Amino acid sequence: MLRALSLVLLFALACGDDDTPADASLADASLDATADAPDAPREYEPEPFEPTGATRAYCPRDADAIEARITEALRSLTIEEKVALMHGARVGLTDGVWLVRGNERFGFPGLRMLDGPRGLSAMSGKTGTAFPVAMLRGATWDPELERRVGAAIAREHRSAGADVVLAPTINVLRHPRWGRAQETYSEDVHHLGAMGVAFIEGVQSEDLLASVKHYAANSIEDTRHEVDVQIDERTLREVYLPHFRRAVQDARVASVMSAYNSINGAWADQNEPLLRDILKGEWGFQGFVESDWIWGTHGSATSVRAGLDLEMPSRVAFRPLIGEVRSGALEERYLDDAVRRIVRAQLCYGLDERTPSEDPSARETEAHRALAREVARRGIVLLRNEEVDGVAALPLAAGASIALVGLGDVPNIGDDGSSSVRARHVVTALEGLSAVATVTDLGRSLEEDEHGALLAADAVVAVVGLVAEDEGEATIGAGDRATLAMPEAHVALVRALASLHERVIVIVEGGAAVLVEDFEAEVEAILWAGYPGQAGGHAIADVLFGAHAPSGRLPFSWPRREADLPPFDNTSAVVTYDFLHGYRHLDHHGAAARYPFGFGRSYATFAYANLRVTGTLDAGAMLEVEVDVTNEGETAAVETVQLYVSALGSAVPRAPRDLRAFAQVELAGGATETVRLRVEADELRYWDVGASAWVLEPIDYELAVGRDAADLRLRVTLSAP
Ligand code: BGC
């Protein structure tokens, strides 16, 4: 509790006046300055360092020259100077960024960090484009679009003087009650990897550094500072790490943020198996690891030895570090490794070649606002669309009038946590719909004297669900959700509307599933809009009136009842993450979702035919899968083809099926195209705990292709040799 209160104070400080005195125990940390240069040159020879293929792949610039420059510096930097490079400058922000100082003597420029996941951090004190939250972007299933979002966010960060984007968040959505559900992309490992890689590539294409977070197993908010997550080795390897590996090996992410929680008894920042052995060893990560903020560093020598390179946002736990190296408790080579990684990142991204500058004209540009709208309309998921008088309730006909009720006038763009963004203007559902239709705004609830206005409208649009007070990052936001249920007042409102009007369209907002059982059968249409960002109102109008045929697909399972999911324990000091969650859990238990993972209706219908597979399931091989998709409707629409794999007769317990590929096609009405998917044979392996190795079992694998996890249309079985 004390910790929580101090954090609130610190974040208030971070956002506010720099001169406000901080929590006494931390105040002097903010006085910490770059260490003075030595009077006499040192006699010190660091361990030799030979750049490898991984070092060169990490570095967009001349890796060999940079490594030689760092080696030279390591010879003469003092221990104090080295440690000064290994922590943030102060508890609060400096000139609107989280500053890590450099070293003038060697021309090391330092780092300037800002969150994040849905745009330029509000903590910068500046406005920026509020993109839809990551979960809604995940619903686009479109990595190419996400790459553009990453690049746009990077440009806005750069325009605010930052060079590190503290994003993407790629923690597994293990349960929809997780307060930061909105910040990540998915419940599924393959999908998370694809979207995370795309965001990182977008950021880094602009010569900024991405910082993927929170490594690892950070999927609960309320106990995030205390909880120990117990995970067996197979589950860790197969469910909680693969997307981080892809961030490192496929996207060459510049930095990794460790989580607050501990994993199997060791804090994430002191977790040698995770940091030193897997991340830096097996995966060959060449960048630096920074702690999560304030209480994310749990020791000095112990953390550094385990693989933490940078304490953020200031030196607190790292205070004994200089003494520990001097006394021999920690060998200086550990500092050398950390400094090399931190400076490598600075030089490989050319931060020494540019001066951070401020350019408000690069933020909330017309192009970025248009992108925010495009992403929102691509992500909104149509969950239900029943007929009214023989015609689907949606799309609405041009000229249709609307009675709007609920959260329609709320600029509902996400939580109040570290990912929060302040836009100059948010287009609400009310504003977006009013731009294309006659809208009667009935406000938050329905009064009796409004029944006439309600009945006079062609359609009723009810915006319901969650707001920042219901869910978000803990400590600075609302934390985990108390329930999966829809707020009672919203259920009552929707039911009242349904009893009065024949065309009730419900738009559910929130970071993930909110139960709809209490009214689903009574309304004509339901959509999930996540937190749709600053252009969300326009996107909602685009979808409702058919300017865009809905194409979003759920990146999470939408259950009928909470009891169908694994338990969500956000009070215990120790929790277990087991092998199954999301659709893997539902499938295993034979529980039907209300709306399955991958689900989303369109205004078109699609037919699948001619599944063809070329290639073999040899280790390291790539299967090419083709399927012909026809748009049987009249409206042009985007279809997302999903491929799930089942291991038949495996020697170890497996999920009934796993998403292993997806691809998209935009088809005009009546058009047919061949969609190509690629499946990596290595993604069919399991982690053999005894052998400490990935194993591709010589068994049969069923590949099933379809629209979602429960609508699989074509199947083929292949044997692995
Ligand atoms: C969050 C991180 C964030 C950091 C800096 C922490 O509370 O967990 O995701 O990057 O603050 O704002």
Report pLDDT digits (tens) over 475-495. 999 999 999 999 999 999 999
Could you tell me if the CB of 292 is within 6 A of ligand 1? yes
pLDDT at 14 (0 to 100): 45
- Cβ atoms of residues 346 and 110 within 8 Å: yes
CA–centroid distance, 642 to ligand 1, in Å, is 33
CA–centroid distance, 719 to ligand 1, in Å, is 45
- Which ligand 1 atom is nearest residue 121's CA? 12
pLDDT at 4 (0 to 100): 45
CA–centroid distance, 293 to ligand 1, in Å, is 6
Could you tell me if the CB of 285 is within 6 A of ligand 1? no
Three-state secondary structure call for residue 703 = strand
pLDDT at 37 (0 to 100): 61
Residue 19: pLDDT over 60: no
Compute the distance between CA of residue 135 and CA of residue 528 in angstroms, rounded to an integer: 11
Residue 513: pLDDT over 80: yes
pLDDT at 82 (0 to 100): 98
Average pLDDT, the chain: 95
Could you tell me if the CB of 213 is within 6 A of ligand 1? yes
Q: Which residues neighbour 556 within 8 Å (Cβ) at sequence distance 6 or greater?
A: 135, 173, 176, 181, 186, 187, 512, 513, 582, 597
Phi, psi of 65 (to 5 degrees): -65, -40
Kind of pairing between the strands at 262-263 and 228-230: parallel
pLDDT at 42 (0 to 100): 81
Compute the distance between CA of residue 380 and CA of residue 527 in angstroms, rounded to an integer: 7
Percent of the chain with pLDDT over 70: 94
Would you put residue 95 in left (φ > 0), alpha (ψ -120 to 50) or beta? left
Interior CA angle at 626 toward 623 and 629, to 5°? 155
For 647-693, the pLDDT digits (tens) are 999 999 999 999 999 999 999 999 999 999 999 999 999 999 999 99
Compute the distance between CA of residue 555 and CA of residue 581 in angstroms, rounded to an integer: 13
More confident: 1 or 350: 350
Could you tell me if the CB of 184 is within 6 A of ligand 1? no
**In terms of C-beta density within 10 A (0-12 exposed, 13-18 middle, 19 or more buried), how is residue 41 classed?**
exposed
Residue 524: pLDDT over 50: yes
Tell me which of 293, 311, 420 to substitute to probe ligand 1's pocket, judged by most ligand atoms within 8 Å of the beta carbon.
293
Could you tell me if the CB of 324 is within 6 A of ligand 1? no
CA–centroid distance, 172 to ligand 1, in Å, is 17
CA–centroid distance, 422 to ligand 1, in Å, is 17
pLDDT at 35 (0 to 100): 58
Q: What is the DSSP letter of 121?
A: -
Residue 38: pLDDT over 70: no
Tell me which of 97, 166, 295, 420 to substitute to probe ligand 1's pocket, judged by most ligand atoms within 8 Å of the beta carbon.
166
Average pLDDT of span 293-314: 98
For 360-418, the pLDDT digits (tens) are 999 999 999 999 999 999 999 999 999 999 999 999 999 999 999 999 999 999 999 99
Compute the distance between CA of residue 240 and CA of residue 248 in angstroms, rounded to an integer: 14
Question: Is 62 among the residues known to form the active site?
Answer: no
Q: Which two tokens stand for residue 250?
A: 């496929």
Residue 28: pLDDT over 80: no
- Cβ atoms of residues 642 and 662 within 8 Å: yes
Tell me which of 157, 221, 418 to substitute to probe ligand 1's pocket, judged by most ligand atoms within 8 Å of the beta carbon.
418
Residue 1: pLDDT over 90: no
Three-state secondary structure call for residue 221 = coil
- Which ligand 1 atom is nearest residue 260's CA? 8
Look at residues 40, 39, 22 and name the one whose alpha carbon lies nearest to residue 31. 22
CA–centroid distance, 243 to ligand 1, in Å, is 20
Residue 24: pLDDT over 50: no
Q: Which residues neighbour 275 within 8 Å (Cβ) at sequence distance 6 or greater?
A: 215, 258, 269, 289, 306, 307, 308
- Cβ atoms of residues 144 and 196 within 8 Å: no
Question: Which of the following is catalytic: 292, 309, 470, 480?
Answer: 292
For 548-568, the pLDDT digits (tens) are 999 999 999 999 999 999 999
Which residues are bridge partners to 673 per DSSP? 629
Residue 306: pLDDT over 70: yes
CA-closest residue to ligand 1 atom 3: 418
pLDDT at 606 (0 to 100): 98
Could you tell me if the CB of 295 is within 6 A of ligand 1? no
CA–centroid distance, 354 to ligand 1, in Å, is 26
CA-closest residue to ligand 1 atom 7: 293
pLDDT at 41 (0 to 100): 72
Residue 16: pLDDT over 60: no
CA-closest residue to ligand 1 atom 9: 418
For 686-703, the pLDDT digits (tens) are 999 999 999 999 999 999
CA-closest residue to ligand 1 atom 11: 293
- Cβ atoms of residues 670 and 634 within 8 Å: yes
CA–centroid distance, 312 to ligand 1, in Å, is 10
Interior CA angle at 592 toward 587 and 595, to 5°? 110
How crowded is residue 33: how many other Cβ atoms within 10 Å of its Cβ? 10
Compute the distance between CA of residue 545 and CA of residue 380 in angstroms, rounded to an integer: 13
Interior CA angle at 38 toward 36 and 40, to 5°? 165
Residue 433: pLDDT over 80: yes
Three-state secondary structure call for residue 430 = helix
CA-closest residue to ligand 1 atom 12: 418
Tell me which of 292, 312, 419, 421 to substitute to probe ligand 1's pocket, judged by most ligand atoms within 8 Å of the beta carbon.
292
CA–centroid distance, 64 to ligand 1, in Å, is 33
Could you tell me if the CB of 166 is within 6 A of ligand 1? yes
